[in-house]
Amino acid sequence: MDWRQLEHDLRQQLPASAVVAARQELLAYDCDGLTLQRHQPPLVVLPETTAQVAAAVRLCHQHGVPFVARGSGTGLSGGAVAEAPALVIATSRMRRILGIDLDNHTITVEPGVINSWVTRAVAGDGFYYAPDPSSQVACSIGGNVAENSGGVHCLKYGVTNNHVLGLEVVLPDGTVTQLGGSLAECPELDLRGVFIGSEGTLGIATAVTLRLLRAPQSVAVLLADFSSMEAAGEAVRLVTAAAVQPAGMEMMDRLCLEAVNDSLGLEDYPRDAAAVLLIELDGQQREVDAAIALASRLCRQAGARQVRAARDPEQCARFWKGRKNAITALGRRYPSYYLQDGVVPRSQLPRVLAAIETLSAQHGLPVANVFHAGDGNLHPLVLYDPKVPGISKRVKELGAAILGLCLDVGGSISGEHGVGSDKRCYMDWMYGGDDLATMLLVRQALNPDGLANPDKQFPTPRTCSESVRRVQVLQAEGISLPAEALVF
């Protein structure tokens, strides 16, 4: 492909500052939050309007050039990285709030708006935006849509998909269309839902209408510490099985607690605890009072050494500070980490946490656990030194073993970080051939030329050696796959 010609054409249709071609500037786009592999793109554009996004995508369509959508680059599955030469279309300059409709509890924003900015824009009127990934002060709404991100409050209020009403989208041929709208219920096929979580393989969202919630009357946070991870897991099981609906339920193990205490100088987390459980409760005053009493009792029944309750907003924020900064704290203490994203049934938490500890010992690599305990979304961090020869292979093998464990107990390989390039080779561990073929047909309908974020989400013989065998088996079974799945 003629990258010089594409660059020339882009400069004809976009502002000069919107085209990034200098090698030293392109280094900023060679990875996302997953740093195990880096791929510097040949060209990046920074559009500021829907029209500019559409112009860039139309040029890719005309030249037959692949493109990769990118938000803030905080993703953790390699989804925003151009593995093969492709134009990166970064929406980080599209940061306008397009409209606020408090009467109908909605806000419309561009994809580059940072997650936490949404709540900041409406907090003074008594509203907030529920999905809150740990990276909410850095991650963008467009990226949240692409990955169907969750966060602390997804336990009670759901993930991004539950809070997006409508999308303005640039399709892979440059067409601009609308999916969904400003109403919660519409009679058409839910293409909005298909687009959310498609990881940039169906197009690029350029405007997003979000649902806002009223701020609760009362909020409390419980901090319970335990002498074992298994006891903390049992507390999660007891609380979620009882008549309590926490807004959020998060857990950290000893490695995380040590890193957080050392990095932030906090005294709220006991240094000798094996695990800490944070439980946020919200609602009407009496409802929260009753929930505090019941959840505290169940934590003690599971073996909590102590349970402390915070009602003051400042103290609640202190309890949450360590959890929100846990991954950053681990990054300061260890040379590097590999963050996974498996999901397990809550009832299996004690068993799975014990098994992860065993796998860690077997592979000779420490694993820190910080995760959304309430919905079983694990975030084990494999800690390692990238200078050790052959370490990447060992790290990936341990990550794969953890995901296999999640599937063995009826779980999933991803809860909110997406599949991207990191976990695509594990998709046929979870789905049968006919399921994968159907999903690929949906992609082909909207992305027939395969130009939008190619080789992401699904295994292909070109990217996963095991998929050569899989394609042969499917063809023997009479299952036809789209051309995208057969590329070598």
* pLDDT, averaged across the chain: 93
- Is the pLDDT reported for residue 84 higher than 70? yes
CATH classification for the domain delimited by 3-90, as one of 3.90.700.10, 3.50.50.60, 3.30.70.2190, 3.30.43.10 = 3.30.43.10
pLDDT at 57 over 50: yes
481 has a pLDDT exceeding 70: no
Q: What is the pLDDT of residue 478?
A: 60
Q: Classify domain 216-418 by CATH number.
A: 3.40.462.10
Nearest CA to 271 out of 233, 301, 305 is that of 305
The pLDDT confidence band at residue 488, using thresholds 50, 70 and 90, is very low
The token duo for 458 is 């699904």
Kindly report, residue by residue over 207-259, the tens digit of the pLDDT: 999 999 999 999 999 999 999 988 998 999 899 999 889 999 999 999 999 99
* Mean pLDDT along residues 264-279: 90
Q: What number is the average pLDDT over the span 169-198?
A: 93
Listed by start position, the domains of the chain span 3-90, 97-214, 216-418, 424-486
Q: Please calculate the CA angle 5-8-14 and round it to the nearest 5 degrees.
A: 135
Residue listed under structure tokens 């390989």: 413
The band of 288, judged by pLDDT with boundaries at 50, 70 and 90, is very high
Residue 226: phi, psi to the nearest 5?
Answer: -135, 160
Note whether 3-90 and 216-418 share their fold. Answer: no
pLDDT above 80: residue 143: yes
pTM, rounded to two decimals:
0.93
Under CATH, which architecture does the 97-214 domain have?
2-Layer Sandwich (3.30)
pLDDT of residue 464: 81
Please name the residue that has the structure tokens 């950290």: 252
As a whole number, mean pLDDT of residues 370-386 equals 94
Given a cut of 60, whether residue 485 has pLDDT beyond it is: no
